[in-house]
């Protein structure tokens, strides 16, 4: 009777997931600069050669980690949408809150997927989740686009607003005493945007 080694069992079953889990843990502990196939293999408890079964290089592993990040990103926005009132403005506020939920709950993945890292954009999982994340934004903004306005201009406006808010909050810039007053709640900012869109319409 032959007993399989732990690394063999992991390779035959959940090696890919274990390596992505290890990559996310390393992002949380050390940041993206310390991400490597060898480090992830060690973290996952497998040989340094094991990642080669699923990833040709660090870009492949980074892409798989980013795909997970975008999947969680979509889930956060969709969860808020499911609980939202049907009004278009409420749905827009909902996806923005989902955006902030993701940034708060998964800060290491939030920073990583928007870091400018090199990812394989032809990867099936990565392409699926990145396209879905933008589709959520596009579909939710669509009812609020003023007549004669390029939809992408409003989509990028909303994206810039919520992303900037999330990043400022994460890097603690919101505590800058130079602001001279308390940091506004995001819903307050969305209220100003809604008024501006209604006035434009």
- Ordered domains of the chain (ranges, CATH): 1-55 (1.10.10), 68-200 (1.10.357.10)
CA distance 154 to 138: 9
The pLDDT value recorded for residue 200 is: 63
CA distance 21 to 16: 9
Task: Using the structure block, give the residue that is written with the tokens 């939710």.
Answer: 140
Q: Summarize the confidence of residues 125-147 as an average pLDDT.
A: 95
Q: Is residue 33 predicted with pLDDT exceeding 80?
A: no
Rounded alpha-carbon distances, angstroms, from residue 94 to 69, 172, 188: 19, 23, 13
Q: Is residue 16 predicted with pLDDT exceeding 50?
A: yes
Please state, rounded to an integer, the average pLDDT across all residues of the chain.
86
Give the least confident one: 140-149, 161-170, 180-189: 180-189
The pLDDT value recorded for residue 70 is: 98
């Amino acid at each position: 009777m032959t007993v399989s080694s732990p690394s063999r069992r992991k390779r035959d079953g959940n090696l890919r997931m274990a390596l992505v889990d290890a990559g996310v843990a390393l992002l949380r502990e050390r940041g993206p600069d310390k991400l490597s196939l060898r480090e992830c293999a060690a973290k996952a408890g497998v040989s340094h050669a094991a990642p080669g079964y699923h990833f040709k290089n660090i870009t492949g592993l980074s892409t798989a980690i980013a795909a997970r990040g975008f999947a969680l990103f979509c889930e956060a926005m969709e969860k808020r949408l499911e609980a939202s009132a049907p009004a278009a403005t409420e749905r827009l506020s909902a996806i923005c809150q989902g955006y902030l939920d993701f940034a708060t709950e998964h800060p290491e993945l939030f920073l990583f997927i928007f870091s400018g890292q090199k990812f394989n954009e032809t990867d099936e999982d990565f392409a699926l989740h990145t396209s879905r994340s933008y589709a959520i934004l596009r579909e939710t903004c669509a009812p609020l686009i003023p007549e004669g306005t390029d939809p992408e201009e409003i989509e990028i406006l909303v994206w810039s607003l919520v992303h900037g808010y999330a990043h400022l909050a994460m890097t603690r810039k919101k505590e800058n005493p130079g602001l001279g007053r308390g940091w506004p709640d995001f819903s307050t900012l969305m209220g100003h945007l809604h008024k501006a869109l209604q006035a434009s319409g």
